[in-house]
Structures are given as structure tokens and as C-alpha cells.
Amino acid sequence: MNVKQFLFKAFLLSLLTWGTIEAVYYFDPYKKYDLETSYNAVIIDKYKRLQETASPKIVLIAGSNFAYGINSKLIADSLKKPVVNMAIHYDYGTTFMLNQISSELRKGDTVIMGFEYIIESKGNKSEQLLMARYFPKAKEWMEFDDIFEEIREKSQLRINIFKTVLGRLLKNKEITYQVSDTTSVFFRGGTNEYGDLISHFNNPPMKVIPRAILSDKESLKDAIVDMNFFYKTMKARGVKVYFVYPTYSKANYDLDKAIINRYQKEYQKYAQFPILGKPTDFVFADSLYHDMAYHLTKKGGDIRTQKIIQLVRKSGL
């Protein structure tokens, strides 16, 4: 076999392989099931509420620390405004999450941001693309550095889905998720009408909350730049924007106190938006957390929500 023949066969094989991957991506036999159950698809329900809720309204945005640890009904009843909890997962990044809500905010609305200490600006493109697979509008919220990053990330998503489909075909078994069960947490249908995650209420919490491990080499500056831009844009539109620190378990706070103090100084130095409270306002006993340092139990979420209400009232809202 000469070099030309070898290269042609190699090209043909790669073409056939990628063609198979593309076919699986577009004709995924599990796509309909995933649309009904995937946690990424919960954006469909949350965005529908965001669009249908009249102004003035309160919109909550952050990662899972807001998804888990908020009682939106309590906020709505206390502040006499409808509430939409848009929080899903921190890995989407501030750029994506703030783009997600911007177009649906009107004069008189209020936004409360509560991003985690591990938040990044760009976020995880694979997670963003997976959301867009179930909710095409999410493509509008994504920002790529260049065409090469876009091609690379979209190709990787296809490969990941191909691997997942193969694995599921071999197992030939689907899981049924229910709010009433004692094991499931992250699935579409795991939230209430406000967008609060309630699927963990019946699940036993972990006896020891795992270490969250913050990096002393990371900075929140890029994320704060995103928040500053969002704040300025919304202020011009007549929308109020506040920030509250994320919740954090006591044991983890004691371990990461020095890093959190540095993050607090970054907020104090660079943030142009009003910050309500301080990190220690949302540090609670580990017994109030479900499965990690950011994820509160129902009781913990109620306590944390009351603190947010108190701080918001003090701000004059």
C-alpha cells in the first residue's frame, strides 16, 4: 500500500467515524427522554416563568447555592413581589447567566445576584452547549473567543453525546426521577413553581459535608467586571441590582477563611453594584447543609432566605 492509498483510507475511515458521531448527535434515541428529565432542560421551565411573570418582579441569579438554598415563596410573601429563581449551576459562568436574564428585565424589576466563590466569567462551554441542545435560545447567551474555540467545543459535545449514547445502549436501562424519592436531585421537574430546587427535601443529608476547596490562585475580577457591566446596563433601564454573598458551611469557611477574605476585598475594591451584608452572614452550621458546602437543606434555606429578606429591606427595597 503506497502513501496515497493509506492517506485516502485513513481519510475515508475518519469521515465514516465522524459521520456516525454526527448521526448519533442528530438522531439521539434518548433526546426526547432527556428533554423531559435532564437538569439542563430545567431552563425551559424557569425561562417560561421569567417571561410570563409581570413586572415589578424579583429575579434571583447564581449557581446551585441559590437553586438549593432559597425559599422564593417566603421572599414573595415578605416583599410583596413575584419571584423567579433562575439559578441552576455555577459552571455556566457569569457572562452566560447574566445574558440569560437581561432581555426579560423591565423597569421596576429587582435582581439579586449570589454567585459562588468559584464562579468564573466564561463558564463551561460544554454545559452551555448542552443547555442549548434542549433550549436553542441559549445559543444567544454564549460567547466564544474565536471560531476555533466554537468548532472545538461543539465537536467535543458531539463526541461526549456519542459516548453517552453507546453506554446507555449497553445498559439499556433508564432511571425514573421523582421529587418524592430519597435519592434524586438534579433533574427537570425537581423544582417548584418559583424555580427553587426541592428534589432534595426527602433525601437524607450527608453526615460529613465534603471539602469545597477554594484556590488561593484564582481571582473573581473577571466575574466582577461582568457584574459591573450588567449593573450599569440594568441601572439605565430602571432595574435594581444587588449582590449577596453565597452560603458556605462553617467547617469549610474555617478552612477557607483567608481566601474568602481576599475575595471579599476584591468585591470591596472592584464592585460598582451594592453588596448586601458580608460573607459571615451566610455561614451556617454544617447540619444545615445537604451534600456540599453550598447546598442547604430546606431548614437551612429558610434561615438563609430570612437573612436575605432582612438585608434587602434594610437597603430600602
- The predicted pLDDT at position 1 comes to 59
pLDDT band at 27 (very low <50, low <70, confident <90, very high): confident
Indicate the pTM of the whole model: 0.91
pLDDT band at 222 (very low <50, low <70, confident <90, very high): very high
Pairing state between β 283-284 and 275-276: unpaired
pLDDT digits (tens, 9 = 90+) for 78-130: 999 999 999 999 999 999 999 999 999 999 999 999 999 999 999 999 999 99
Half-sphere exposure of 138 toward its Cβ, with a 13 Å CA cutoff?
A: 22
Measured in degrees and rounded to the nearest 5, phi and psi for residue 156 equal -65, -40
Measured in degrees and rounded to the nearest 5, phi and psi for residue 49 equal -65, -40
Distance CA 51, CA 84 (A): 10
> Which residue bears the cell 458580608?
278
Q: Looking at the domain covering 3-315, what would its CATH class be? A: alpha beta
Distance CA 45, CA 31 (A): 17
For 137, residues 6+ apart whose C-beta sits below 8 A from its C-beta are 47
b/e code 200-220 from CB counts within 10 Å (16+ = b): bbeeebeeebeebebeeeeeb
| CA distances in angstroms from 313 to 57, 74, 103, 268, 310, listed in the order given | 15, 14, 26, 21, 5
Half-sphere exposure of 299 toward its Cβ, with a 13 Å CA cutoff?
A: 10
- The predicted pLDDT at position 7 comes to 46
Residue type, 73: K
Q: Is the pLDDT of residue 30 over 60?
A: yes
Peptide bond into 56 cis (omega under 30): yes
Of residues 85 and 32, the one with the higher pLDDT is: 85
- The predicted pLDDT at position 28 comes to 80
Q: Is the pLDDT of residue 258 over 90?
A: yes
The total number of residues written for the chain in this structure: 317
Q: Is the pLDDT of residue 2 over 80?
A: no
- The predicted pLDDT at position 226 comes to 98
Domain boundaries, the chain: 3-315
The grid cell for 135 is 433550549
Distance CA 269, CA 86 (A): 27
Contact 125, 152 (CB under 8 A): no
pLDDT band at 167 (very low <50, low <70, confident <90, very high): confident
For 299, residues 6+ apart whose C-beta sits below 8 A from its C-beta are 288
- The predicted pLDDT at position 10 comes to 47
Distance CA 93, CA 160 (A): 21
